[in-house]
Structure 1
Amino acid sequence: MITIARLTFREMLNKKILQLGLILTVLYLGVLGLGLYYIGKDIPANAEVVRMTLAGELLTAGLFVSGMLVALVTVFSSAGAISSDIESGIMLAIAAKPISRTQVFLGKYAGLGLALVVYSLLVFVATNMIVWRIFHFHSDGFFGAMVLFALQPLVLLAVSLWGSTFLSTLGNGVFMFMLYGVAVIGGMVEYVGVQMSSMALNAASATGAASSLTMIGILTSLLLPVDSMYRLVNYLLLQGGPVPEQLIRFTPFLTITPPSLEMLVYTAGYTLLFIGFGIYKFSRRDL
């Protein structure tokens, strides 16, 4: 398994999708830094509350785009990780005895996962450093948020590798993008529902609509819990930062009630379950 992981990691570093992702990431960070610089320089020095609140808003927005970049690189790099090797005939040589298919699957997951975690850490740290440099924004929850952000691609990777065992590269890529899009939109729908509930609307129709929206968001987070992890990342950063608590609720990329410990346990179980599904499906597929 270690040999497969090492070879997969090296292959990942040589993939054009990672190189293209790094180029786009650098361009994105450059645009982000330039935009934040012009925003920050117009804020009066004595308007500290405005500065910190705006920094929190822009940080969560920046991490939203950063998370999308990580998701794009994850899907593009893993959609054909197994299916393309099967279609080209390479898998016949890789999965020859005494190497089991379980070792092949876990090796690919470990190799791709390591590369994606490193990429996620770089993107997260760079985004936070830009906001810190311009707005002097710091958070006590930085390290916890960093770990959670780096673990997001591992969830996507587990599902994508599972899909790669029985779908074509194109089909799996489309499937993953649709699933990720549903999760992100569901998170926004849940935010709207929670906001409506918190506004203490008395109308029965408004209360019912808020409950329905919240339930839709919860169900989509169960389909793919990546968006819940992203919102917990933002919650940790803002709760541990200098943004006034009464203003945090108006951040569109944050949830007022952050995902619970049970949701984190569910996410871990979800990831392990799809790794198991992938191993099972791969072990029974004709090469």
Structure 2
Amino acid sequence: MNNILLIAELSLREALRKRLVLILLVLTALFVGFYLYGILRLQNALDARALDAGLDYDPGRGRRGLTGASVAFSAIFGMYLVYFLGSLMSVLSTVGAVSGDIENGVMQSIISRPVSRAQVVLGRWLGFSIVNVVYVALLSAALLLGVRAITGFTSPQPLLAVLLVLLGVVLLTSLTVLGSTLFTTLSNGIGVFVLYGLGFTGGILSTIGQLAATPTLVTLGNLANTVMPTNALWLGASYYLQSPFVLELNKLSRGSNPFVGSDPVGAGLVLWTAFYAVLVLVLAVLAFRRRDL
């Protein structure tokens, strides 16, 4: 256990030293500032229009109707971008977790010490998981609290939404660690991004299948979401970010928006994703044990 924690600590330090992570953090700060500034301008414009019309605005009760819907959709889209940035961070920070050390010739010196290959994989996974989870949690809090400070809008159940997003981030981290034990760093990054795209494609296919009453497309979409449940997790998270008014709008549209879900996340999806992440981590340990260095 001590070796796992030691390697996790080294992974944390490595992630902080990478220029890529530093650049991503700077760009993230610019994104939050830019997005919240846009929310501020939007709210000012909506308030001005509401006051001119004498509708949809009550300083004591907050925004209602289409005015509130605009703010709610802006918050949801902001969290979607947070999820994308978190996914990007998960892959880019972890892509060389094992393969990078192998390619640099460092791995031989690590495993020549009293450190098992399983401890190397678990320590790498733990360290990068901490980095990615903390990053996404802080980014989510900054965006949601910023929207609340500017507009007064609070998502109904933001904690559940953020937890689902974090679960997706952990799954991506596990998949990237597994790929790092099997492939080169470049191939691993490409492969995980393709899987991420597969999940998004599954959501699109399901939406088209429902609108066109085509069960085959719905089945293909569900299969893709099972293989890569990251998009399904987002749809579940988006449900908990919607106000009742916005949720009714989405239900009336019969799920025509592939970026927003109109149903709560099922317990089966959460359990499957958690099991999937653990299974992938176990496979990473087994694969690295058999890998010839």
TM over 0.5: yes
Task: Identify the match of residue 98 of structure 1 among 86, 89, 114.
Answer: 114
Change (3 A) 1:120 1:19: same
Task: Identify the match of residue 263 of structure 2 among 257, 271, 277.
Answer: 257
Q: Is the 8 A contact 2:240 2:264 kept in 1?
A: no
Q: Is the 8 A contact 1:71 1:156 kept in 2?
A: yes
Aligned to 1:214: 218
Task: State the Cα deviation string for residues 70-113 of structure 1 (Å, max 9, x = none).
Answer: 11111111111101101111111112242111111000000000
Aligned to 1:283: 289
Shift of 1:42: 1.5
Structure-1 separation of matches of 2:209 and 2:261:
10
Task: Identify the match of residue 155 of structure 1 among 157, 171, 194.
Answer: 171
Q: Is the 8 A contact 2:239 2:247 kept in 1?
A: no
Dislocated runs of 4+, deviation >6 Å: none
Structure-2 separation of matches of 1:89 and 1:151:
33
Task: Identify the match of residue 133 of structure 2 among 86, 111, 117.
Answer: 117
Q: Does 1:15 align with 2:18?
A: yes
Q: 1:1-287 residue pairs with structure 2 within 5 A?
A: 1-43=4-46, 44=50, 46-47=55-56, 48-194=64-210, 196=211, 206-207=212-213, 209=214, 211-238=215-242, 241-249=243-251, 250=253, 252-287=258-293
* TM-score in terms of structure 1 length: 0.89
Structure-1 separation of matches of 2:240 and 2:203:
17
**Letter matched to residue 282 of structure 2:** G
Change (3 A) 1:192 1:58: farther
Shift of 1:242: 5.0
Structure-2 separation of matches of 1:85 and 1:158:
17
Unaligned ranges ≥5, structure 2: 57-63
Unaligned ranges ≥5, structure 1: 197-205
1:254 aligns to what SS in structure 2? coil
Count of residues paired in the alignment = 273
**Letter matched to residue 246 of structure 1:** E
**Letter matched to residue 132 of structure 1:** R
Q: Is the 8 A contact 2:160 2:240 kept in 1?
A: yes
